[in-house]
Structure 1
Amino acid sequence: MGEDNAVDGGVPRISDGIEVYTGADGAVTWSGVELTVDVMRELQAPWAERAGDLTANRDIVTELRSLATTDMETTFIGTLLAAEPEPKDWQYGEALAEVLLEHWHGAVWLWDGARDRRTRKASLPGADLVGLCVADGSATLLFGEVKSSSEVKSPPKVVTGSPDGMIEQLKRLTQVNDHMTLLKWLRHRCRTEEHISAYQTAARRFIHSSGKDFRLFGCLVRDTAPLSTDLSGPAAELAKTVVEPMHALLTAWYLPIAKATWPTYATSGVGDDG
């Protein structure tokens, strides 16, 4: 744990959280990690960047402003910026999961999902997580789902519900139905020779195993007290479907910050577009 991204430099080092429970059932492992206040401080900048694609957005805004030649046009750009919706708390949950998987599990994201938002209520089809898992000099495809929840019930409905609970979604990701779409999406976003090489290594493993050799991640982001029942039962259910060489990892991250305040917390003190 704690290894930086092996392909593109990764995010700043983040102190380890506190692993409060762990378990395994066949090809499925699960763990609960409590994130301390100190860890959350270190996460703040990369979390906000991932959720809002801040650097790219800042460049686009600067370019748009440079195109304005009158006060009226400048005012219109201000209106555009004011009308842009802020990411939702569940989008911050997804962004946090991406940052943590990148830091602790060798995940490589070839694209920031914030760039794919096309509407105010954007929720893109397919897997929440599509990337590569790079470790020990090799790469595998990475597919996954992220759920955020404040529900007191353990496990929360977002994990066990049907048809859109995390476990049911992960089961569907073990099937071939959407794999070609995800493979194409990922390949189109390879921008460097290093990424292309890693993608081809992962795709080769996937093909040689007839679509079975990949990593499946299920991430639960919580603002509640840690309970092993959040994942132990769901993991046993998923283990009925996931078999080697496929491997699945379920992780619950427990935050000391209320879910409703995640957007405010992540962006507080982080520079905006000015």
Structure 2
Amino acid sequence: MTRFAGKVAVVTGAAQGIGAATAERLAEEGAAVAVVDLTAERAQATVDAITAKGGTARAYGCDVADHDAVEAAFARVVADLGALHILVNNAGITRDNLFFRMPKDDWDAVITVNLTSAYNCAHVAQAYMVQQKYGKIVSLSSRSALGNRGQANYAAAKAGIQGLTATLAIELGPYNINVNAVAPGYIATAMTAATAERVGARAEDHQAMAAERTPLRRVGRPEEVASVVAFLASEDASYVSGQTLYINGGAR
């Protein structure tokens, strides 16, 4: 498929996991991809994987929690690749703890990296998108937005993503900009492996426990989230906006 031929996509937090899978999927379908992570060196492995398959990608280092840094990085992307059509807000961290034990620094870090960074990136990207009267913004929420023990900070940030998405869809819709979110359930990534470690479990055992609670009886893969992000960023979803789509194997 070449759904993204001629399009330029920015994917944040794209050094690994869902971000890397998303960058690779968009590139496979023809997009030129700006692979953004905290440093360009971290992003390079994803770029190498894309270019090895004949795709187009460049690595960019950027602290997406810094609005000025995002402005500078996105200006470089436009100068290098010619435009900015698609933004995937994927950058995120966890600092899990029960609420009464949660230090304010961990609250601030998770809100900033998971939610404020989405504001920063969308705020900068929309200026390019409004001017060209075209754009697709897809942000990563989470099933944790519905509440998850030990993740008050992460749950609040991911719920905020859903509110931000719904509001931006209203405000940017008149400029032909679609804004949506995806909310993954348990996906086998380095982040969920870290969650397993926090509770004293092996990643494999933690995944098995999650699978037992999931109607499909397995956990998800990063590529499965990437395929839904690609749909929402494509013209196949041209009349979809303001939505959060849960990707969780049927879990409730």
Higher RCO by CA contacts (8 Å cutoff, separation 6 or greater): 1
Tell whether the structures are fold-level matches, with TM greater than 0.5.
no
Which structure has greater helix proportion?
2
**TM-score normalized with structure 1 length:** 0.34
**TM-score normalized with structure 2 length:** 0.37
